Every structure is written in structure tokens, then in C-alpha cells.
Amino acid sequence: MTMIFDPYYTGSGTRADVKLPDYQIDKLTDPSGYLAPPDLVSAVNVALALGLPLLLTGEPGCGKSQLAYSLAWELGLPDPFTFTVKSDTQSRDLFYHFDTLGRFRAVHIHNVQENDDAHRFLRMEALGRAIFHALGSTKIIDIDPGFTGYLADIPPQPQRSVVLIDEIDKAPREVPNDILNEIDRMAFDIPEVTKANQNKSSFSLQNKSSRTSDGTQSAEHSAIRPIVIITSNRERELPEAFLRRCVYFHVELPPFRSELNKTDTNKSGDGKEVSVERIVESRLDLKNGIEAEHHKPNIQKSVLAGGISFFEYLRSDDVHLIKKPSTAELLNWMLLLYNRCPATGTVENNEHLFLTSAKVTLFKHLDDQKEAADLFNDWLALQAGKK
């Protein structure tokens, strides 16, 4: 077993003049490299046609959040406005945050006048920013001139955007329904910036000018309505009322090439297959692809073909892990193998690096890590022609 590169950190208590690598994380998340299977593409297009939120479930690391960036990139829109839900999130938090404590201190400690401009304690959040972009700065100032100094990144004219609401299943149970009520209306109020004897600041895409005489949405309103992507890791079930008002899709791990056949319809928009191997090839920009090498014993496979094979083995029904590795974890591991092993390097010639790096990138539970070496040896013992 050989280590083919000097370590950056030795743990020996001595200093060393070491040049750290150029990190390539963006290479694995670039939206131009995202490959969506046809069923997911159909779900996106249904959500776009209906103007409904798209709810995505699936295990962590399967690419749910990255879809929002892929969608924005393909449609020529800015990067998504993102909001990660927490256990104490309230529906208002999706639109804006008001620094109540800061306001209190200003009034009661620093003797700021009660009617002083409260806008400076305000921070817009994902869906609030998206609605602001859909209204345009000119309209916002008409609604509340107090926002004049806070609209540097808001275009004068309406602009469409994508909103990513991540991990909705972490929110208190009533929040999903509350959020959907706000998304349905595409409207929110900011009572904290209301001055005495003045109507509260209210921002809505559903004003009179955006509704037809029969009460339906006008084309103008539909054109600027933000595109909303919501993700869930299914840590708990979501309310039925919430599910009823979304387009829903469960993101599965793509098939391996060995599972595809000539008539398989699992193809992306360019007519090519969507498989685990092609995702890796696309992300690592492998011009020659990854050969399956099924005819070789696993120990003699190249590190990339062996990496795919070992990942497939860990995902199989024959292996019982507490936390099976995801696509995101595979990509991180394959990037390391690609950068650190010779192009023709085999598992045998890089066995130490192969196993030690797999142990900390693919195995994300202590009990699973304890089994890593045994599982690696079991995989090596499989007959040639097996996964």
C-alpha cells in the first residue's frame, strides 16, 4: 500500500512549509454541470406552468438544493434567494427580520426618538427580497418612501427570481401552512416600520392592477411571480394541507450504468443518460469517461472505476449501514481520488489512500466507520465481474 502524496498536516508537533491545494468545491456545485433526470424535469415544468411551489424530498446530499441553482442558471435569472429553516423559524422570518432588541436599545438606552426611522433595523429575507424584485424599486418607493436608501440591489423594473426554502421539515408544525398562505398571496406586511397615523407598509403582487375582472391572475402577475423551490429531508411528515398546495417530487439516487438498458428513458435534456457515472464524469470534466472494468478484480480496477464500484456496493441491499453515502459524498471522494492518484493508478497501488479517504468521506456514522475496513475487504473479495 502506498501513499502517493505528502500529507499537508503531520500531527507531529513540528512546523512545515507546506503549500495547501487550490480548493475546487465550486467545481462540484457549478449549476452548469447539474444533470436532472426526466421525471424531475417534468415536475419542474409542471410547477412553472401552474405557478405552484415545488416540494422536493430525498436523502441529504441527493441534489435537492442544487436544483434551484440549476433552474435559475438555465433561465438566466440571478442566483436563488435562499432561506434555511430552523427549529424556531416563524413564517415572518421568510420575508424579513426586524432587530427588535436593537430598536429597544436605541430608544431606551441611546435616547433615540420613538418616531425615528425604524427601517434601519430591518433586514430583508429570501421571499421578501424576491417580492421586492418582482415589484421593482420604483413601486416599492411608491408604497413606502422609507425604503429609498435600502434598494441598492433592487432593479427599478420588475424582475423574476428563484427562492430556495431549505429543510422545511425542521420548522414548527404550523409554519409550513403559514408559509404557503403567504406564498399563495405573495404579500406581506411590515408593521414594525409603520409610523403613527399611517397605514402599515404592505407589499403584494396581488394588487388590483394584477387581477382580471373575474379574479384570476393576470399575465403581468404570472410573469413576475417568484419561482419557489422547497426542500425536505423528511425528518418528519409535513401537513396534508401543505402537501396539497405543492407540486411534489422525491429525488432518488440516479441508476448506475449497469442498471440501464438500451431502451432506458432516464435521459437528460441533451438526450444522454443520467447515471451516477455520468454525474461524476460531468463534475470532474472527464473527457474519456469512466470505464466500468467489470471484467477486472476490484483490486485491479482504476481508482475511479473502483470508487464507483465500491460506492455501488455500499448502496446495495447487501450492505446495512446506518447512513448510506449520498451523491454529494461520492463526488467529494472522487474529486480527491482524481486529484491525488495517477490517471492509470489502480486500487491496489493506492489502497491506503483509497480506504482512508473513503472512511472519512463516505462513512458518516461512527458505527459505520468501524466497519469500513471489513466492508472494503468484503468488496475486494467479490469475484471479477461483480460490483
Q: Which amino acid does the sequence have at 209?
A: S
**Does residue 383 come out as left (phi exceeding 0), alpha (psi in the -120 to 50 range) or beta?**
beta
For position 17, what pLDDT does the model report? 81
**Amino acid 251: pLDDT:** 94
Answer whether 163's CB lies under 8 Å from 89's CB: no
Comparing CA positions, the residue from 253, 285, 249 lying closest to residue 266 is 253
- Per-residue pLDDT, 267: 67
**pTM for the full predicted model:** 0.84
pLDDT of res. 223: 56
How many Å apart are CA 69 and CA 117, to the nearest integer?
36
Can you state the angle between helices 372-381 and 351-361, rounded to 10 degrees? Answer: 130
Pairing mode, strands 162-166 and 227-232 = parallel
Q: pLDDT 10s digit of each residue in the chain, 387 long?
A: 444 456 788 788 888 788 887 777 788 889 988 999 999 999 999 999 999 999 999 998 899 999 999 999 999 999 999 999 999 988 889 998 887 787 777 766 655 555 566 777 888 899 999 999 988 888 888 888 888 877 888 888 899 999 999 999 998 888 888 888 778 878 888 888 765 435 556 777 664 444 444 444 444 444 588 999 999 987 778 888 889 999 999 999 999 998 887 556 666 666 678 899 999 999 998 988 898 888 899 999 999 999 999 999 999 999 999 999 999 999 999 999 998 888 789 999 999 999 999 999 999 999 999 999 999 999 999 865 455
Displacement of CA 373 from its chain's centroid (Å): 31
Q: What is the DSSP string of 134-153?
A: HH-HHHHHHH-GGGGGG-TT
List all residues 6 or more positions away from 269 whose beta carbon is below 8 Å from its beta carbon.
Answer: 36, 41
Largest CA-CA distance found in the chain, in angstroms, rounded: 81
